[in-house]
Amino acid sequence: MKWHGWGHPHVTFPMEDKPDLWPFVREKLGMSRDLYHPAVKVEDIKLPANRLTDPKATLKELEALLGADRASIDDFQRLVHAFGKSFPDLWRARAGIVATAPDIIAWPASHEDVVAVIAWAKKNKVHVIPFGGGTNIAGALDVKEEAKLPVLSLDMRGMGRLLEMQQDSNLALLETGAVGPAIEEQLGQRGFSLGHFPDSFEFSTLGGWIATRSAGMQSDAYGRIEDMVQALHTVTSEHVLELKPFPATSAGPDLARPFIGSEGCFGIITRAWMRVHPIPASKRYVGYLFKTFEQGLAAVKACHEADIKPSLVRLQDEGETELAFNLKSPKPLLKSAVEFPVKKLLKTLGYTKPAIMVVGFEGSDQQTAHLASAAASIFKKHGGFPLGDSIGSAWSKDKYNTPYLRDYIMDYGGIADVAETSTTWGKLAELHGAVLAAVSVGCAEENLPGYVGCHLSHTYVTGGCLYFTWALQGGDKPLERYYRMKARVTDAIVAAGGTLSHHHAVGTEHLPWLAKEIGPGGEAMLGAFKKAFDPSDMFNPGGLTPQRIHPYLGTNRG
């Protein structure tokens, strides 16, 4: 993966076939392509001194434990293990400002390797930060000032095997360093799928998903990652836990639960028994247009009430719909000649603040057909205008490309970020309005134009997740400007009754709001877990500690 951006090193966002996109960005953000801000050269980055007393001797010790080439003190490896992929992470990497970094990296190849490394780390008084794909955008991988000892980054990507399957019970035992494509490939050979497809699917790992309580695009049908976990194997500084995948048990509390969302602070999740399902025979993605975002929300809610479950819902508000139109490649002449009168007709019919929705259905051919047709009649009742399959196929084809756009904006000195939350159906529309207003007030205070858009990305019987994207110029002090807007947006989310994160986790970036969300009882329980699993603060020190002071955001916001 790129060390200063998203994705494959040689892939950039394809602007060439999107002639409307740059004029749209220029109009919305007032940015100019004359101001190019390239990343510094990697060889010019100076890393903090290695804190190990004798780095080479320690390297030898770890290689003796794990095998040659399974550990490194190389500067490039220290750099790429120092960050995740949030805007501040990438901004610092591009500017070459690397204040903290792990001192040594190790790649275990099995659960037994992890047991051995953790015993070694305990004996040698070394902190351990588990590293999955490094894709989190909450600052979960930062080496924080609470790390008083040298830091080992334990990169789990050497552990990616499907170890066992109970096909008759839809269960698979996977090593947690497996990245998305490796999981689907190994399960696919047996006709199965996990069904977890976050936008970061190509690079993120099963362990990272579990440790951050991730949600994939198809969570409406298959659930969030935590709904798929049947049992976990974990290694802490004190215990090894190997839970069995019973279909159900009442043998005390579920001991896997504290590790789900543990953000590397309690120990290492090494293996997971996951619920899997046969690959669906048929998948269909279709598009609808609603007169307003609120009308779309009501239509999706009605689907849940009627027990009609799409596998995916992506309802875009006016801002995102406008962006989606500007992301399109030009159409052949005949097609645009047909589309023009349709657009005019829609305007006459009152689709003036249009909200596009892509909705997916999966199952047997009959199930897919039934779901699509039952949902169609509900959407029609709520004013949904069917747009056919082509918009759904276009979205499916491009779904992993969009994250590259942020790098493009950053190349020209812009800030682009996302914020996501969930709340109950009754509060969604108000929360949506509150965040749009917060961005607009923030931009006015900065005296700058800006962009904000949102989509409903995951839905439940009880409510849904709103996913906001916002962008503006960076100016002279982009990090300060970023944190002013981040604070505004998160304050607005929390005040309007949303959780501080639906699936991106807490990391360092959301810590200042955690105390308010979980209350004193929650804080005490987090402290008690930490004491039980990790009394010497070996794992990810400073993580999941609500009283920690964030250098830009302070503590206990809201």
Ligand X SMILES: Cc1cc2nc3c(=O)[nH]c(=O)nc-3n(C[C@H](O)[C@H](O)[C@H](O)COP(=O)(O)OP(=O)(O)OC[C@H]3O[C@@H](n4cnc5c(N)ncnc54)[C@H](O)[C@@H]3O)c2cc1C
Binding status of residue 207 toward ligand X by CB under 6 A: yes
- 361 binds ligand X per the rule CB under 6 A: no
Least Cβ distance, residue 421 to ligand X (angstroms): 13
Beta carbon nearer to ligand X, 183 or 355: 183
Smallest distance from ligand X to CB 107, Å: 12
Contacting ligand X within 483-512 (CB under 6 A): 503-505
Options 61, 63, 75, 199; binder of ligand X; rule CB under 6 A: 199
The yes or no reply on residue 174 touching ligand X (CB under 6 A) is no
Compare residues 317 and 407 and give the one whose CB is closer to ligand X.
Answer: 407
Stretch in the footprint of ligand X (CB under 6 A) among 25-33, 204-212, 443-451, 489-497: 204-212
DSSP-based three-state secondary structure for 4: coil
- Of the two residues 176 and 459, which places its CB atom closer to ligand X in the complex? 176
Q: Which distant-in-sequence residues (6+ apart) come within 8 Å of 60 by Cβ?
A: none
d(CA 132, CA 130): 7
Q: Could you say whether residue 215 binds ligand X (CB under 6 A)? A: yes
The CA distance from 489 to 204, in Å, is 26
Site for ligand X, residues 223 to 282, rule: CB under 6 A: 263-264, 268-269
CA-based radius of gyration for the chain: 24
Q: How is the beta sheet containing 127-131 ordered, strand by strand?
A: 71-72, 104-106, 151-155, 127-131
CB of 156 to ligand X, least distance (A): 5
DSSP code of residue 504: S
- Residue 8 CB-half CA count within 13 A: 8
CB of 219 to ligand X, least distance (A): 9
Residue 534: both structure tokens together:
């990790």
Distance CA 269, CA 256 (A): 10
Q: For this structure, is 408 an active site residue? A: no
- In the DSSP assignment, the letter for residue 197 is -
**Which positions from 5 to 24 touch ligand X by CB under 6 A, shown as an x/- string?**
-x------------------
**Is residue 180 part of the contact set for ligand X (CB under 6 A)?**
no
Q: How far is the CB of 543 from ligand X (least distance, A)?
A: 6
Please, which residues have CB within 8 angstroms of residue 124's CB and are 6 or more apart in sequence? 58, 61
Token look-up 């001991």 returns: 255
The contact pattern for ligand X, residues 125-144, with x = CB under 6 A and - = no contact, is: ----xxxxxxxxx--xx---
* CB-nearer residue toward ligand X: 52 or 268: 268
x/- contact string, 379-408, with ligand X (CB under 6 A)? Answer: ------------------------x-----
Helix H or strand E encompassing 360: strand 355-363
Query: Residue 160 or residue 287: which is nearer to ligand X going by CB?
Result: 160
Residue 182 parent element (H or E): helix 180-188
CB neighbour burial string for 163-181, b if at least 16 within 10 angstroms, e if fewer: eebeeeeebbbbbbbbbbe
Q: Which of 467, 482, 483, 552 is catalytic?
A: 467
* Cβ nearer to ligand X, comparing 311 with 368: 311
Closer residue to ligand X, CB minimum distance, 316 or 368: 316
Specify the residue, 137 or 300, whose C-beta has the smaller distance to ligand X.
Answer: 137
Phi, psi of 230 (to 5 degrees): -100, -35
**Residue 204 or 490 having the CB closest to ligand X:** 204
> How many beta carbons lie within 10 A of that of residue 444, not counting itself?
11
- If one asks whether residue 310 binds ligand X (CB under 6 A), the answer comes out as no
Q: Is position 214 an interface residue for ligand X (rule: CB under 6 A)?
A: yes
Distance between CA 110 and CA 534 in Å, rounded?
21
- The candidate with the shortest Cα–Cα distance to 533, out of 270, 272, 271, 268, is 268
Site for ligand X, residues 30 to 89, rule: CB under 6 A: 84-85
What tokens appear for 193 in the block? 């799928």
Q: Between 517 and 536, how does the x/- string for binding to ligand X read (CB under 6 A)?
A: --------------------
The residue with its CB nearest to ligand X is 208
Q: Is residue 199 a contact partner of residue 457, using CB atoms and an 8 Å limit?
A: no
* Residue 211 near residue 262 (C-beta atoms within 8 A): yes
Closest CA to 279 of 186, 353, 351: 186
Minimum distance from CB of 537 to ligand X (Å)? Answer: 14
The binder of ligand X chosen from 149, 156, 416, 431 (CB under 6 A): 156
Binding residues for ligand X, per CB under 6 A? 6, 84-85, 129-137, 140-141, 156, 176, 198-200, 204-205, 207-209, 211-212, 214-215, 263-264, 268-269, 403, 503-505, 540
List residues with catalytic annotation: 467
